[in-house]
Structure 1
Amino acid sequence: MKDERTTAELEQLVERHKRYYRETLRHQPVSGRIAKLKQMRRWIMRHRAALIETLHADFNKPAVETELSESKVVLAEIDHALRHIRHWAAERRVPTPVLLLGGRSRIRVEPKGVVLIIAPWNFPFNLAVGPLVSAVAAGNSVVVKPSEYTPRTAALIESLARDIFNPDEVSVIQGGPETAAALTRLPFDHIFFTGSPQVGKKVMAAAAEHLTPVTLELGGQNPVIVAADADVRQTAKRLLYAKVLNAGQSCVSANYVLAHHSVKAPLMEALKQEQARLAAAGGERAGVINDAHARRLRDWLVEARTHGARVMPDDQLFLDSVTRQGGPVILEDVAPESKVMQNEIFGPLLPVISYNTLDEALRHIERRPYPLALYIFSRNRSVIRRIIRETVSGAVGVNETTVHFFNNDLPFGGAGYSGMGSAHGYYGFRAFSRERAVFKMPARFSIVDLIRPPYDGFSNRIKELIMRFL
């Protein structure tokens, strides 16, 4: 669905949002936000079947995955906000130092104003409406730009906004990369972007023109360390689950596995058995989003084989030509220069390489940009603690991958190349809020009055007392 608006039209849109925020929304009590969140919840429950149909039409996402990784995630975000919003939004008192004796210090939590959310295609409902929940809970006016790769879901999101909100409170803008780029150049009060690091750099550069703060939820080459004491059967199941879920098209999916040399062979055997079990079970699976991404994955697979990688199962054309479903495919002994080892894969391919010592595995991770997530499979607490202590990542998963995303009490965000800022629960609310300091001193007298100019002997004596005792 195309809706390529001119720059002038987008500027007028943002100005209408700013006027509505100034005149109406900024005065709305928290109870008004709660009412809107409840309306969103009811809307999603009424449209569960439509959402399943829409996501299946956009890229063959199975009903179970749509319900659990799209609908339920957003519903959980709403429920979490409803439980905590009054506490999050409440003005709070903070201590005042003795030097300011008589004064009172408070923090007001205020909306940022008019914010922009740019959502990706891989979880198109979840990653558009989830941040929208946080922005509405914080009291903002919102412009949402969904992905053009999932047009039916984008249309459904537009229906949600139209059914619940004033168009100057929440509006959904359709269009391609040109529209998204034009929006980032406008004077929003915050931009929340989910996508690739390459596009994230462009968003940040455009936002800098207006000194607009940004939240960047990006990707990265998420490593997995399989230690010598790992339960290889359980590890294999959990690794391949993340590559079947959404066809591996997830920013928190494992990108490559570093397996200790002593468990690599049994791990490969366990992965082979798990592959066979999944193939025999059949059932629905998500497909790769489009033909261009499918060609990229096939090309990377062929290139890895050319550099000596062994592929399991031995099938270069692993994706169905119509549904683009297939995999997961395991690549063994992959050359470091292969594209699957140099890039975020974003698909159902999983390279496995071995390491001899933990030092070697840690050096391998250190040489790469900070990932969004790092996964450790081990039962040895000292090994787990050392890996966490000596690495940097947005999140760490121990004996599991991907599922930390579903905990709204955890911040979700990257580090360095994989992003900045956090989402989910309180952290999403905080991303769309401004903490405003308020200090009140009695009008008649302040201890600070004793040290105001002109500086004389008395003020110097007071200064010495302050330096010594306060």
Structure 2
Amino acid sequence: MTNILKKQLLKLRTQIIYFESDLIEALKKDLNKSEHETLISELYPVYKELKFFIKNSRKITKMRSLKTLSNNLLSHKGHFYKPHGEVLIFSTWNYPFNLALNPFIGAFAMGNKISMSLHPFTPNTNEVISKILKPFDNVEVLTLKTIEEILDYKKWDFIFFTGGELTGEKIRTKAYELKIPYCLELGGKSPVIVTESANLKLAAEQILYGKILNSGQTCVAPDYLIVHESVKDAFDKIIQKEIKNNKLDIMHLDSNISKIINIQTFDNLVKEIDKDTSNISNDPLKQKISLCYLNKEHLNSNFEQKEIMGPVVYTKTYKNWEDISKIISSNPNPLIIYLFSENKIDFQRVKTLNSGNLMINATIDLVADSKLAFGGYKNSGYGKYHGWASVELFSFKTAYLKVKRDIYMKFKKYPYTAKKLGILRKYLNIIK
């Protein structure tokens, strides 16, 4: 017999499938996302997360009632997972479907009442999401405009936020005021380490894939490269060849390339790029910029000071791991560190660096794996979600102990005597 949760999740999947073509069209209008990118980065992660919760729906339903740890003659104990209650989810503009539905699935599966705040930069996608969620009870898509209005709309029990650090601080302050749990999915400057043992062609392909996706407007996009000095020249030739062969130097002409979200962001990117190079093509009318690979140690732009939300990547060199540590620690803790290496010692070294996540010999795809808990560290975020991490995040784990018979009560209770103390000491020695 199909449980109620599974029926609801299957209904959600049916809704998404029904509106899939509308969603593809909406993302094209909002971000000029190609169908190719929409399938990879918007639909695939959501379907994968849904599949996880559908597959585990019976187990999750049991966890919401009682998960027994032990049951014997003396006691019955375990945990059960209660919904937080009123959950507020803020999504953002760069992946407006994925970053709205992915946390929604976890919150929905755990039985919460959910209010969705969708980003105003993507009105067409928001309209489709509203249609997808319309048949479900205890789900509301908010039409409030300001952060302050939204935060004061209800007495929230949990807040989930994806976006920038400044707004994230407002969420943190409100959560502290309400004394409630929260999750912040922020961003940061995600470095790519290319060691002397790396497969340089693989590294170049993966870096460019991560930087071109959504025109670099991705919270886990490669931000800057840290390349070993012994392979710097060889790597530079390979990545330049990849750029030329794939016409990334004129990718602004390609109708399949996502646009920069708005003209202000476009103008700011072009202004900063022009401080370091005059060889990058762009199209102001379509808000597109071709890939900008800055092969220079010292930049005149401000790209080294903040996260780059665009198709720009720059390079630094290193001699040893101490150099790497200094370079990375000069910025706030990244959301992810990428390592390209075939050396097992490098795998151990990179684990000592602080970041929310770590990916080796590939880029981006970690964020679409429902078996992995994804989230930031300090400046790059607080809290983890996806799969079982979402089960924990969107519920309150309550301990349960039913005592059938307390055989130690006569030794614990007052009055305290030497005999009782002796027995308690013997018991303590047994459990030491």
By the TM > 0.5 criterion, same fold? Answer: yes
Alignment partner of 2:150 out of 183, 201, 222: 183
- Spell out, residue by residue over 1:75-106, the C-alpha distance to the aligned partner (whole angstroms, 9 max, x if none): 1111111111222342222258xxx9812211
1:237 equivalent in alignment to 2:205: yes
Alignment partner of 1:171 out of 126, 140, 157: 140
1:451 equivalent in alignment to 2:423: no
- Aligned-residue offset at 1:337: 7.5
Structure 1 length-normalised TM:
0.86
1:93 — aligned with what?
68
**Quick check: 1:101–1:446 contact (8 Å CA) kept in 2?**
no
- Cα separation, partners in 2 of 1:336 and 1:203, compared to 1, 3 Å: farther
Q: Distance in 2 between matches of 1:333 and 1:175?
A: 45
1:440 — aligned with what?
402
Count of matched residue positions in the alignment of Structure 1 and Structure 2: 423
Q: Distance in 1 between matches of 2:104 and 2:215?
A: 25
- Aligned-residue offset at 1:336: 6.5
Alignment of 1:25-44 (within 5 A): 31-44=3-16
Matching residue's letter, 1:397:
M
- Spell out, residue by residue over 1:46-96, the C-alpha distance to the aligned partner (whole angstroms, 9 max, x if none): 111101100000010111111221122111111111111222342222258
**Quick check: 1:334–1:341 contact (8 Å CA) kept in 2?**
no
**Quick check: 1:255–1:344 contact (8 Å CA) kept in 2?**
yes
**Quick check: 2:5–2:61 contact (8 Å CA) kept in 1?**
no
1:112 equivalent in alignment to 2:84: yes
- Aligned-residue offset at 1:384: 2.0
Q: Distance in 2 between matches of 1:174 and 1:331?
A: 42
**Structure 1 unaligned runs (5+)?**
1-28, 306-310
Q: Distance in 1 between matches of 2:411 and 2:75?
A: 15
Alignment of 1:200-219 (within 5 A): 200-219=168-187
- Aligned-residue offset at 1:426: 1.1
1:5 — aligned with what?
none
Alignment partner of 1:341 out of 293, 296, 304: 304
- Spell out, residue by residue over 1:364-389, the C-alpha distance to the aligned partner (whole angstroms, 9 max, x if none): 1123221110000111111221122x
**Structure 2 unaligned runs (5+)?**
none
- Aligned-residue offset at 1:31: 2.5
Query: Larger deviation: 45-54 or 276-285?
Result: 276-285
1:145 equivalent in alignment to 2:109: no
Q: Distance in 2 between matches of 1:201 and 1:277?
A: 43
- Cα separation, partners in 2 of 1:257 and 1:48, compared to 1, 3 Å: same
Q: Distance in 1 between matches of 2:91 and 2:190?
A: 21
Alignment partner of 1:227 out of 171, 190, 195: 195
- Aligned-residue offset at 1:241: 0.6
1:12 — aligned with what?
none
1:374 — aligned with what?
337
RMSD over aligned Cα atoms: 2.0
Query: Larger deviation: 29-38 or 375-384?
Result: 29-38
Matching residue's letter, 1:260:
H
**Quick check: 2:340–2:361 contact (8 Å CA) kept in 1?**
yes
Q: Distance in 2 between matches of 1:138 and 1:247?
A: 35
Matching residue's letter, 1:293:
T
Where 2:56 maps in the other structure, the secondary structure is: helix
- Aligned-residue offset at 1:109: 1.6
Matching residue's letter, 1:83:
K
Structure holding more helix per residue:
1
**Quick check: 1:33–1:136 contact (8 Å CA) kept in 2?**
no
Q: Distance in 1 between matches of 2:287 and 2:247?
A: 15
Alignment of 1:304-319 (within 5 A): 305=276, 311=277, 314-316=278-280, 318-319=281-282
1:355 equivalent in alignment to 2:330: no
Where 1:209 maps in the other structure, the secondary structure is: helix
2:388 — aligned with what?
426
2:370 — aligned with what?
408
1:323 — aligned with what?
286
Alignment partner of 1:467 out of 404, 425, 428: 428
- Cα separation, partners in 2 of 1:324 and 1:334, compared to 1, 3 Å: farther
Alignment of 1:57-68 (within 5 A): 57-68=29-40
Q: Distance in 1 between matches of 2:309 and 2:407?
A: 61
Q: Distance in 2 between matches of 1:386 and 1:467?
A: 42
- Spell out, residue by residue over 1:103-137, the C-alpha distance to the aligned partner (whole angstroms, 9 max, x if none): 22111122111101000000000100111111111
Q: Distance in 2 between matches of 1:270 and 1:433?
A: 48
Give runs of ≥4 in structure 1 deviating > 3 Å: 280-283
Q: Distance in 1 between matches of 2:335 and 2:323?
A: 21
- Cα separation, partners in 2 of 1:214 and 1:320, compared to 1, 3 Å: same
- Aligned-residue offset at 1:445: 4.2
- Cα separation, partners in 2 of 1:191 and 1:449, compared to 1, 3 Å: farther
Where 2:362 maps in the other structure, the secondary structure is: coil
Q: Distance in 1 between matches of 2:298 and 2:182?
A: 36
**Quick check: 1:88–1:426 contact (8 Å CA) kept in 2?**
no
Where 2:96 maps in the other structure, the secondary structure is: coil
- Spell out, residue by residue over 1:327-350, the C-alpha distance to the aligned partner (whole angstroms, 9 max, x if none): 211012243784211100011000
Q: Distance in 1 between matches of 2:381 and 2:158?
A: 15
**Quick check: 1:362–1:387 contact (8 Å CA) kept in 2?**
no
Question: Identity over the aligned pairs, expressed in percent?
Answer: 29
Matching residue's letter, 1:229:
S
- Spell out, residue by residue over 1:6-27, the C-alpha distance to the aligned partner (whole angstroms, 9 max, x if none): xxxxxxxxxxxxxxxxxxxxxx
Q: Distance in 2 between matches of 1:319 and 1:174?
A: 35
Structure 2 length-normalised TM:
0.93
Where 2:49 maps in the other structure, the secondary structure is: helix
**Quick check: 1:117–1:142 contact (8 Å CA) kept in 2?**
yes
Matching residue's letter, 1:173:
L
1:258 — aligned with what?
226
